[in-house]
Amino acid sequence: MKEEKIIGIIPARYGSERFPGKVLYNFKGKTILQHVYENACSIKSLSEIYIATDSEKIVEVAKKFGAKTIITSPSCRTGSDRVAEASKKLKCSIVVDIQADEPFLPEEAVEKPLKIMLEDKKIYITTSATKIRKKEELYDSNTVKVVLDNKNFALYFSRSLIPFPRSYFLKKNQFLKNVIFYKHIGVYLYRKNFLMKFYKMESSPLEKIEKLEQLRVLENGYKIKVAIIEKDSPSVDTLSDIKKLY
């Protein structure tokens, strides 16, 4: 059986809407991007790691800590589109899209969905999720929630609270200890041939509304398998998120 070649690509842009330049923000002596890169390098299944960007500033910083970079178009619609563009000429069978704002992505967030993909050739995109443990994340639009079917395929992703437990909210908005909510972890594993197909799809209506690229997959009738992991992976969406990492 032919061995799969798996590469990791970190899409990094300088002009973040909520926190411009966040990937180059210094945290404990290193940029957020360097933390993400070094963390990705520790994931054993990845044979190569690249940073995909349209920013010369990011390229300069990345070279200083030894990262390989790929220049992409400034007009990429999403991180996954940037990853797709960057992977076009790379020889691989599976591409792991690692978000540039998750400096503590646990290894299981890649290894667990990868195991699912390697065991079932019919699965062309996987991702990870973990249980929401903090009440404030339920109502934080930067915390993306996901609901699953009975085989752990994603039914929907949203910045809103899903599912919405109406009966509980009639009782003074109490915290829901008996309801499990899942938080999406920022990593996608694509079979390269499907990633190229995704890249050619038009941006979908729900994707545009929620600003969540994975909805393009669901709206076009494809499935996303979700691996449930134990560890959380705090992301950096605002300056206040940096302070929470200390």
> What is residue 171's predicted lDDT score, i.e. its pLDDT?
55
Query: With bands split at pLDDT 50, 70 and 90, how would you rate the model's confidence at 242?
Result: low
Burial category of 219 from C-beta neighbours within 10 Å (exposed 0-12, middle 13-18, buried 19 and up): middle
- Using a pLDDT cut of 70, give the percent of the chain over it: 88
| Amino acid identity, position 27 | F
Confidence band, pLDDT 50/70/90 cuts, at residue 136 = confident
Tokens in use for 64? Answer: 């200083």
Q: pLDDT confidence of 236, banded at 50, 70, 90?
A: low
pLDDT in tens, 14-45: 866 655 678 898 888 899 999 999 999 999 99
Class of domain 6-245: alpha beta
Q: What number is the average pLDDT over the span 194-203?
A: 97
Provide the pLDDT for residue 1: 42
Mean pLDDT of 208-212: 97
Type of residue at 186: G
pLDDT mean across residues, the chain: 90
The set of residues, in sequence order, having a beta carbon less than 8 Å from that of 52 and lying 6+ positions away, is: 9, 10, 11, 12, 69, 70, 72, 82, 83, 85, 86
Please tell me the distance from the alpha carbon of residue 186 to that of residue 169, in angstroms, as a whole number: 29
In this predicted structure, the answer to whether residue 53 has a pLDDT above a threshold of 70 is yes
Q: What are residue 158's DSSP bridge partners?
A: 145
Q: Coil, strand or helix: which one is 8? A: strand
pTM: 0.91
Instruction: Kindly tell me if the per-residue pLDDT of 240 is higher than 70.
Output: no
